[in-house]
Structure 1
Amino acid sequence: MLLLSTPWIKRISKRRNAIDWSSTIVFSTRWLSGLAIAVFGISPAFGQSAEIVGRPQLNEEEITLRVKVTTDGGRPEMRLGESNFQAIVDDKPVDIEDWRSPTETVPPPAWIVVLIDLSGSMQQADSSGVTKLQGAIQATRRFIAEMSDRGGDTRVAIVPFGEGGGDCGGYPVTQDAIADRFFPANDIKQQNLLDYLASQTPCASTNIYDPLKQAIRLLGDEENPNFYVPEDSPKPEPRLSVILLSDGYHNKPNEERDFQGLRNLLLRHENIVVHTLGYGLTPEQLGAKYGLGRPATREDIQTVEKPYNPIPDEEFVDLKRLREIAEVSGGVAEFSGDADEIAEALQVFLNALLGEYELVYLQPNAERGSKHEVVVEAKVNGETIQTQSASYTITVFGRSLPLVTRLSMTGVVLLLLGMGGVLPFWKWSQWLKQEAEEDF
């Protein structure tokens, strides 16, 4: 039985006060997903879904929503039009005044950590003939260029990882090391770092969980104003994400324990999404290559204890674990065999991170201080799906009143001025005139 400790309950309560209910629902989904994996050893399948991302933005009576739509496996749906959406406010449909596709909107602010496996197996050639390291670097360059073209305030930290041993120093990952590598997508430092990584000779072993934990703990620091904005701030909430690119598996003892520790950490930080990208042959391809007659598993890997096993250590990629990590966090899992497919997978991740539709409508009968709830219906592949509700309150101060109200107030003010100023002055002038007439 999975129990929530008191500190965890307090943390959830704190986050509920800092973010909208959409994130609470995402947390519930993630918790149930993690429970299914932990108890039953299965990975839940996700169908089509839609969600209102972040808080509704208010500009007087104009309300702006950002909506994300995904299909099976959490992949972003980028091809919808305005007619596919309907906003429903307080149980009544409203007209959409303006609409933008994900490629037309200004991306929300985002902080992205890209973890690149630099284990020794990255020296091997992929199915296209280039080394995996070359393929990963080429794909990351395209990923950075695409982010730069989209604009917005996106910060990326490209971080190599790998555990050293013997003559290999490895690439240790710490929170400070990640924080120091956050640069805008178009910063020349990104290209300089990729040039440096391309010149390296990978030699480390694969430790997946420790680098992920460091990245999640950094992004999960709620005291950091870069990652978390106050509840009453007009600024949009930054998108926080980690992309893990690995061509291996976690080859340290107690792998199951380490996975459970990562899973629990992800459940505590429901606003951080991890996308995973496996680089190599699938278990089915490995099984066919080495004549197993079935998909390869961890039990088939050659080790010191089992040197007679058929699958070379450097060729096995733990697709099952990569999928589970992505699913627990609400991310996307991809698996690719060559550099072009790696670049396409990173494009999917980018769309999942920043691919949000923008809907604008006018609040009917907007009154200061009034509270409202909105849901959005989206038609996807012939099916109508609905978001969770999002609430907002019309601004009490700083918002213009409707024209009719302003005219009415102006009339009342003029009437009061007339009764309190003009009328007494007129009576006083009439009295002076009468007095003057009587003197003559």
Structure 2
Amino acid sequence: MEMVRTDERLASLLTERYGLRVTLNDIKKCDQDLTQKIYIHFLKDIGASLEQINTLPFEVTESVQQYPDMYRKALRTMNLAKLIKYFLYNIFGDDSFMPADLYDPKPKKTKHFFWLLLEFISQPSEQLNEIEDQVNLKCEKQSEMWKNISKLKEKLQQQKLEKAELKIKEDEEEKRIAESKSKLEECKDRMNKLKSEVDQKKLTCASLCTAIKEAEMQVIQAKERVKDLSNQVVQDSERVDIEERESRLAQLRTDLQTKKDYFAQFQQDLAIMEQYRHTVTTMVATIRDIQQEYNKDKENIATMTQLSQEQSEVQEQLEDKAMQIQQLNHQIESEQAKISQMHHTWSMNKESILEEIKQHKLTLEELRRNKTECEIAYQDLENEHLHITNENTRVREEIVNIDNFIITCYGKIIHAMEENNQSLQSTLTEVQQTLEQYRVE
């Protein structure tokens, strides 16, 4: 992630990173002391050992050993320049860093080097923070999904309990309906039997009423006849007939009383039948209520079926959520693997850089053993190299100018040749026309 390169941000980052009090004016000036402090803090930050930067080697000349404080600063600056140059070349492929960038740092070039160092330090941290933010976000999503799954499981369990309760109620209602139906059938059978008995008793009652009326008529006739006979002389044969009639009348009265008793019993049975009819009507109303409850139970069964479908949908959603959680777990594992890989890569890079710095220290120590005035020669060679580079650049610019001049001249020559060709073509045409006219003449 490329940083926004401004002087204010550079001063803020250096102050925040190394605890130095770097102002905007310091960034614009980039003096020698501040520049060297920042480079030294950077080397410490990447784990480089700076113990030997200020240490004079044993093989230096006697004049240097006599005045160590005089040469220590120059030696430290040279060693620091070599370390920074070695780092920039190996990490960024930039070999433009010179010791002069420590002795007399140029603000533009120095700020460019500072930005390279800060990008090297902050890039892995930013990637690591970004990955950690993604992992935390996915962990939060996973936690939220687990909470939703727990809620769905609780809801599913509640629906199962409600379904079981409804099933128990449904079984109880079906059992009660079956019992009520059996009772209703018994009542219907009993009512039909009572109806047949009532009809039979009605017929008997009608016949009894007819017989009673006939007996009453006969009694009336007998009384009238007794009166008539009492007014007449009664003979023996008539007396016998009267006695027979009286005995028959007594028998008819006895039969009449029996039939009256039977009729009273029939009225009681009829009242009982009315009670049964009322009971049957009440039971029919109860059965209607039971039928309505049964219809409600059917609606509850339909609701249970819908709940079962919703339960299936919830189960599918749970499976989808579980798959998503599994995918998130895989992603988290992959992100954690990436983080571990980045940590490992950073550790390897850090170890390789430290190893290179260590090797460079060994090389520096070897160079210190073999050098006397090589540093001055090295400085001269670097200055000469810079001069040659500038000269090479100037020569290249001159070559480019010469090439441009040649291209321009070549274009002019081609244009002149084209004009000459056109002129020759027109001349040849005129000559040909002249020859044709001469031949015609």
> When the two structures are superposed, what TM-score results if normalisation uses the length of structure 2?
0.18
> When the two structures are superposed, what TM-score results if normalisation uses the length of structure 1?
0.18
Say which structure is richer in helix: 2
Larger Rg: 2
